[in-house]
Structure 1
Amino acid sequence: MTRPPILRLDGKDYDLSTLSAQGREALAAYQHATAQMQHAQKMQALLIRAKNAYVEDLKAEIVQGKTGLDLAALFGD
């Protein structure tokens, strides 16, 4: 026996098989918005990592400029 599709909102389960056409459109819009938010969160994490890497590069460049010490050569592979 197959179970009807269920959507959990605010701790309550809703049977999606009873949705009207307008309800299905709202569900599709909800799903799209949720997917876009997840994508934005992943993009934010990626940009934070990139920003942190640029900060480290700038710090190394500033230290080298002030001291003449090349940290990349000192601690590099």
Structure 2
Amino acid sequence: MVKTLKIEGQEYDVSTLSEAGRANLAQFQHVTAQLQEAQNLHAVLTKARHAYIADLKNEIVKGKSGIDLSALFDD
């Protein structure tokens, strides 16, 4: 468990917290971890979305011109 907690630039000693304060701190840490996980998931899904858009663009170009752009740039 953390020894100090920094809130809005001010550091607080966690050892002075009551039992209810420690429970709030645990919930705060849990929510913070969940938020970070959600942000990571958002980044992954955004990257996947961009990949799908690129694939769709290639498919549209291939359908209109008959040229497979992905084949031109693959090694």
User: Which residue of the other structure, out of 3, 7, 13, is the alignment partner of 1:9?
Assistant: 7
Q: TM-score, normalised by structure 1?
A: 0.92
What SS does the aligned partner of 1:36 have?
Answer: helix
Which residue of structure 2 aligns with residue 74 of structure 1? 72
What SS does the aligned partner of 1:69 have?
Answer: coil
Deviation at 1:74, TM superposition (A): 1.3
Q: What letter corresponds to residue 58 of structure 1 in structure 2?
A: L
1:29 aligns with 2:51: no
Q: What percentage of residue pairs aligned between the two structures are identical?
A: 54
Deviation at 1:75, TM superposition (A): 1.3
What SS does the aligned partner of 2:67 have?
Answer: coil
2-structure distance, mates of 1:9, 1:73: 53
Count of residue pairs brought into register by the alignment:
74
Q: Which runs of 5+ in 1 are unaligned?
A: none
2-structure distance, mates of 1:72, 1:24: 55
2-structure distance, mates of 1:10, 1:73: 53
Which residue of structure 2 aligns with residue 60 of structure 1? 58
